[in-house]
Each structure stands twice: as C-alpha cells, then as structure tokens.
Amino acid sequence: MSVRFTTREIGSLGKPSWRVKAFAGRPIEEEDVREAERWGKRLEVDGHEELVEGLRAASSNTLLLGNGGLALAAIDDWASRYAIRLLEQAGLDVVYDGEQKRTEMYDHVAAFAHGFEARGTVRSFDNKYYAKAAVVEPPSADGPQDVEELRFVAANTQRRVKVPLTGAYTMEDWSYDEHYAREGALGGSAERRFEARRQFVEDVAERVIRPNVVGLVEAGADWIQIDEPAAATKPDEVPLVVHGFNTALRDVGAAKRSMHICFSDYRALWPSVLELDDCLELQLEFANRDSRELGTRAEDRPGYADTLRLFAEHGYPGVGLGVLDIHSDFVEPAELVRDRILFAVDALGGPERIQVNPDCGLRTRSWDVVYEKLSNMVAGARLAEDVVNAA
Amino acid sequence: MASLKAYAAGIYPRSEALVQATRDLDRGRTTAEAVDEQRRADLQALVAAQEEAGLDLLTDGLLDWQDLFRPLAERSDGVTARPLTRFLDTNTFYRALLVDGALRLREPVPAPELPAGRWLATLPAPSALGRAARGAASSQAFAADVLAPQIEADAEAGCALVVLVDPFLAREGGVEEAIASLRELPDGVPLVLHLPFGDASGILDALAEAPISAVGVDFYATSLDAVPDGFPKELAAGIIDVRSSALENPDELAAFADTLLERNPAGVALTVNGDLQFVPEPVAREKVLRLGRARALLAEGVTA
C-alpha cells in the first residue's frame, strides 16, 4: 500500500485586520475591505461579497458595525470561514478554523472557567505579550466550552476536523496560583509544592477540560488535540502532564487523541509519555531548531536527529513532525520539507508513525506567508511520498 | 546583626503604556522616539518606587532588554541570538546563542543613569551564557571575553553590585564549571550569583568556596532547611515570588528572614527570586514596596 502523509495545522492563525478592528471598536478602513475582498476571491469563499459589502458600508459609517448592520458574531463567523478555506486551499487533509473565535489559547479557557481572575499583561518575548490570570478557587465550568465552535467548523468543511484544546498542565503552569499554593510557599518543601500543582492540574482536567471533551465527542468530534506547550519545561512534572491528559480524556470515545508540545527540551518527556492513554502522536516543534539547507543526513538535520532518536528508542507514540518554523517569514521550499520528512522516515525506520504539520500555530505570520508555507508543506509531503513509494 | 540590604535585580515589567507603545511600534503606529519617551517615564516610576520602598540599591529594570542574553550578544563578536527557546517553566522565551567565532565584547552595555555607588547591574552568569549557547563556547570564554570587560565598565561607572543570574545551574548542574568561570571575572565590584527558579540545596556547599560575595537563593524553590548553619557567604534571599501574583505579607517576610539569620550566614540581603517581569507592572510595584517594608521591619527588629 502506498504511503500518504496526513497534513494538518496545529491551531491558531492570525486574525484578519477587519476582524481585529471590528472587535476592538476601531474604524474599518478601505484597506481592510480590500483585504477581505482579495482573500475572499483568492480562497473562493462562498458569499464573501456579503462580507465585503457589509465592511464597505461600515467603513463609511461606523454605526453600521454591530448595530443593525454587520454584527460582530457574523464577523466572527466570516473569519472562521476564511480560515477554514485558507487551510483547505493550501491542501491540508485535516483542518479547524485557526481558532478565529478564541482570544488566545490560555485566555480562552481562563475567561470561560470559574475560578480564574485576570491579573494583567506579561511579556512572552520581544514585544509580544499575553494576558495572565490567577486561580483563586478550584476551577470549574458550567458545561462544554467549544461545542458550537466545532459545529460551525464541521458545517463549513468536508475535511476531517481536529479540535485543539489547551491542556490542564499548561493552564496550571501559566496561571498564577493564589489558591493551591497560597499557604506555606516561602521556604516550603518540594513535596508540598508538587502536591499543590498536582491538585491544580487534576481539577482543571476533571472539572473544565473533560466536560468540554465529552460535549465535543457527543457533538461528533473524533480527534481531540491537547495542547501542552508547557509540558517539558519541568522534567519532574511530566507525570502531571500525563495525568492531566488521561484525566481529561478518561472514558471518552474520541477515535483519535494527540498532544502538541513545542519549544522545549523533549528529553524530559520520556519515559513518562509512554503512560499516555491511546495517544496517537506527539506533535512537536522541530523546524525552529533546524538548518535551512537541504539534505537527509543527521548533520543536515540538527533540529530533528536527537528528538527522533527518542521516538525510535521508545517506540511510542507517533510523531507529528513540525516542518515549518512558525516564528520566521522564511518560506520553506517543498524540497526542504521533503528532506525533513525523509530524514524522519529513515530515523524511525519507516513512515508509519509520521504525520506532517507546522511547528506550532501560525498566528504570528501574515496570511500570505502562512498560505505559502502551508502550500509548500503539502507539496513537500507529496515529494516525500514519491520517494518513499518509489523505494 | 550582619549588614542588611534590600534590592530588586533583574528585568522589571513594562507598564501597560509601554506595552502598548512597543506593540504600536511593531505595527508601525508609533515611532521609536515615542517608545523611548515612554520607557524613560517607566524608569522614573520604577526609581521612585524603589526610593519609596527604601531599597538600598537601585536598578534601571533593564526596560529595553528583550531577554537576559541579547544585549551582550548584540554587542559582541562571535555570537548571535536567534533560535527562540522557552525559558524554563515560564511562558516566556529567549533567543539562544549561536557561536560562530572568537568571542569579544565590542562595546559594553551602557551604564544606567542612576547615582554612582547606589546602582546594581544585572548580567547573565558566565555559566548561563554557556548554557544559552548550548555549549558551543565555554563558560570561561564568555567570562573572560564578554563579561569581564562589561563588569569593568560597570565598575568604572559606579556600579555597587553585580548580580550574575544563572537560571539553569540549580536545575541542571555543572557547578564546578560555573565556579571555574567565575574565577575569570574581575573583583573590583562585589558579585552575587543568583539562582532563580531552582532548588539550590544541592549546590550551596560547593558555592561556599566560589569567588563571589553572595549566593542568591530562590526560597520558593529551596527549603529553608537546606541552608547550612554558618554559611560563609551572604545569602541574597529571594523572598519575593516573581512568579506569583499573590502579594507577600511583609511581617511574614521579615519573620522568615529572621529565621534565616538564626542560621548565621555571613549576611542576608532581601531580594526577589527572579525577574519581576513575570508579573504585571502594578503587581511588581506593590511587591517592591512590600520588600522594602520587610527590610524596614527587620532592621527595626520588629518581626512577627
């Protein structure tokens, strides 16, 4: 049987300027309207003329925005449709909506769940920032969070859908703790700190994420991706990452479940990740740390060799191979994508455990760059298949 | 009682106004001059907060530093900062260092506009630079060829204390090499080796012999029980938790420091356990004030 590598995105895309400005209450300008028109045509978005017309009217009369004219909810829907079409047109096999209806992966959950309070803005890197909240009581949720989002995506694509959800450990690790570790933190024991974090993770997984997963699966989701970018940052706590994953997905019938991790020292993941229940794969960032030169030898692929050795050594789970650097406008040629995949095939002794994706969400790149990168990723996957199938 | 001081080294958070200014700069909506003006306003507010708190040494908060390593990398030959790399267990990143030649500091990072004899410098420890370069250059080379000239320049400009930060050492080991690299540094200004976000209990004994005046310990990652009696160096006690938005109680901080003093170290300084940039600026400002209150309580002998 011939090999075919499944191609997918990881999560977030940048939001169109017209979506950003509409929600920020800033004026829609002619340039925004032209962008909506350009991408609507380029992506062949059904009915995009309606959006363009509404934006154009709003650009000349701001009262028409969300006020009997183009409602914010409708703009959200349009942003979703555009993102889905971008991923489809780039050729991906599995899509979502670039998280167009979410603020940001952490805030999306913290703002929805009970038990979190916003604390302000902190820096992520350079001039990039994010909002951070504190847990002030055991988190909980009134019900599933993302079912309507899934239904909208499923109704607007024929492709397979993968739902990205922020993981319990990352929610814990990125939050301030004003509840679980409130007492006895100064000069306290490592055991006490660990127990506080374990309880926090368990509560988020059981009381916030699991209800969402149950609702999503009931609504038809068959692939849940748990995003744990913080997973490998504290080697001693990788068991907590696993505990959060298994708790959130316990007795849930999703056909596929996977985990995304990025920008970390992956050596910390094993052997704990062997305990992940039915995890199809770890989707990891590799390209960020790789050379941009072509080649399939270990010395050509410094970003891949060490981590793939871990996959090969332990045999579980599969690998979602990050082949696009999401922090650079450099558009990886298809041949470079091909070589990264072929190196992985060689490192793992075959193609069976490999699927293909960007390193992470592409939200910091322009749609022009994203489209070129993803198109080349798909083309590179096809080139790699040609080589593998000819062997 | 041993001499007592308090200070808040490291990168300080940007105000909401400076956050917005830098975002606007990236999006072409404002000018670099406007960002600099806001940064000066932030600096004035930070200095005022430290003075109000009664801190003994002042920091400029490194408000224009993008991470701990980049300012030195940008001013040095033989090294560039590029791959975005997660900074420990924080949701923040630094640019790892790529070494492509002989290291040489071309020009030192300029001294802050603070009173001579009252300001402290925060720099990466040589061992941290070596780790950020993933071993492509030795810690000793970073010490001799990058940090030593920087520290000499700081000393000439009136620096009273250099806080050398190594966030990796307590977690990942390598203390012998770290100590060897510290021997490459000039001794004209007191040096603190600060160990944020790590359990220092396993390396305190080794650091007792290091060529530094103080060891900075994160007491939110290190048990008080780990401090040996009669530690021969000053302990820069990280008692303000920069990773928590919870505000510390000054009485409890002073009581903790009192307990620490009962173990008879060579001295105790009250400080933060890492960069205050991990909390929003209003929270950081309040923490600085509470650090100062704890220092005052301790100095007055009034503890809970």
Boundary (domain end) residue, out of A55, A90, A125? A90
Q: For residues B105-114, give the mean pLDDT.
A: 97
- Split into its structural domains, chain A has a count of 2
The answer to the question of residue A176 being in a domain is: yes
Q: For residues A347-355, give the mean pLDDT.
A: 97
pLDDT for A67 beyond 90: no
Instruction: Report yes or no: A354 and A321 within 8 Å, Cβ to Cβ.
Output: yes
pLDDT of residue A233: 80
pLDDT band at A44 (very low <50, low <70, confident <90, very high): very high
Question: What confidence tens digit (pLDDT) does each residue in A277-336 have?
Answer: 999 999 999 999 999 999 999 999 999 999 999 999 999 999 999 999 999 999 999 999
From A264, which residue of chain B is nearest by alpha-carbon distance? B86
pLDDT band at A235 (very low <50, low <70, confident <90, very high): confident
Question: What confidence tens digit (pLDDT) does each residue in B59-90 have?
Answer: 999 999 999 999 999 999 999 998 888 888 78
ipTM: 0.91
Distance from CA of A333 to the nearest CA of B (A): 20
pLDDT of residue B304: 45
Q: What is the overall mean pLDDT for chain A?
A: 94
Q: Is A127 on the interface with B (CB under 8 A)?
A: yes
pLDDT for A192 beyond 70: yes
Q: What share of chain B is helix, strand, coil (3-state, %, to 5)?
A: 40, 20, 40
Task: Give the closest of B86, B245, B259 to A178, CB-based.
Answer: B245
Nearest C-alpha neighbor of A249 from the set A198, A211, A220: A211
Task: Give the closest of B86, B94, B256 to A187, CB-based.
Answer: B256
Cβ within 8 Å, pair A230-B219: no
Question: What confidence tens digit (pLDDT) does each residue in B163-196 have?
Answer: 999 999 999 999 999 999 999 999 999 999 999 9
Bridge partners for A322 per DSSP: A357
Percent above pLDDT 90 for chain B: 91
pTM for the structure as a whole:
0.82
Nearest C-alpha neighbor of B6 from the set B230, B198, B272: B272
pLDDT of residue A31: 94
Please report residues of A whose CB lies closer than 8 A to that of B219: 186-187
From B93, which residue of chain A is nearest by alpha-carbon distance? A125
In a shared domain, residues A231 and A120: yes
In a shared domain, residues A267 and A341: yes
pLDDT for A63 beyond 70: no
> For residue A223, what are the contacts with CB-CB under 8 A and spacing of at least 6?
A94, A160, A161, A162, A163, A254, A255, A256, A257, A258
In a shared domain, residues A150 and A211: yes
Least confident among A62-66, A124-128, A163-167, A227-231: A62-66
pLDDT for B265 beyond 90: yes
In a shared domain, residues A193 and A131: yes
Instruction: Return d(Cα A142, Cα A164) in angstroms, integer.
Output: 20
- Split into its structural domains, chain B has a count of 1
Name which residue leads in pLDDT, A374 or A63.
A374
In a shared domain, residues A49 and A165: no
CATH number reported for the structural domain that contains residue B135 in this entry: 3.20.20.210
Least confident among A69-73, A288-292, B98-102, B179-183: A69-73
Cβ within 8 Å, pair B91-A124: yes
Domain of residue B272, residue span = 4-13+55-300
